Structures are given as C-alpha cells and as structure tokens.
Amino acid sequence: MKKTLLTIACALTASATLWADDVTTTTTTTTGTGTLTEYTPGSAFVVKETSGPVTYRYGDSVTYVTKSGKTLTADEVKTRIHTGIPVSVGYTTSGSDRVISRVEVDDD
C-alpha cells in the first residue's frame, strides 16, 4: 500500500512539474531614454529619443523613481513629471506596443 501511494505521489509531482514548465513565461524589460515631449497621466507618454519620438502605453502599474532609486509619491509625480525633462523608461513589449513599467528621472 505504501509503495502504491509513493508511486502515485511521484507520478503526480512529475506531471505537475512538467505542466508548470509548459506555462512558464519570461518578460524582458528594455530601457529607452530621451526627453519627455508629451505627458498626460494615464494616457499619453511620448519620449523624444535619438531615433525620433516614441509613444509608450500605460500598463497596469508604473513605478516612478529617481536615479538614486527613491520611489516618487503620487504628489511628487504630479510636480516632477512634466514635458521637457530627461527620462529613462523601462518597458516591455506587447505586440507593437511599448508598455511602461518604470520611469526614472534625475535626482533633485
């Protein structure tokens, strides 16, 4: 009986491991840098990069930080994020869209 239960447990563990391997996905964050030329919170984020203007799409959440790593509060985002500032944008791609995950600005 113990041998049968052990065999079943091993079989279930192996099949769960195989199934998990089939659904594992990875995402790679890419970074773009330039000057913020259009900004409307939640809808428009355009950066003038060396290749020209690049439009980014908002995803579920965006983290705004300084170069030293300090996360900006909602009030700080309202005052510090505006057109004309240099930014570094961390993004993933979804189809042909660049989806923002992180925006880095200079320290004050």
Question: What tens digit of pLDDT does each residue of 32-88 get?
Answer: 999 999 999 999 999 999 999 999 999 899 999 999 999 999 999 999 999 999 999
Enclosing domain of residue 42: 30-105
Would residue 35 count as lying in a domain?
yes
Q: Using 50, 70 and 90 to split pLDDT, how confident is the model at 28?
A: confident
Closest CA to 47 of 37, 59, 60, 58: 37
Would residue 4 count as lying in a domain?
no
Would residue 67 count as lying in a domain?
yes
Q: Using 50, 70 and 90 to split pLDDT, how confident is the model at 5?
A: very low
Report the CATH number at residue 90. Answer: 2.40.50.320
Q: For the chain, what is the domain count? A: 1
Would residue 25 count as lying in a domain?
no
Would residue 83 count as lying in a domain?
yes
Query: What is the mean pLDDT of the segment spanning 10-37?
Result: 63
What does pTM read for this prediction?
0.74
Would residue 60 count as lying in a domain?
yes
Cβ(64)–Cβ(106) below 8 Å? no
Closest CA to 104 of 59, 93, 41, 85: 85
Q: How many CA atoms lie within 13 A of 89 on its CB side?
A: 25
Would residue 10 count as lying in a domain?
no
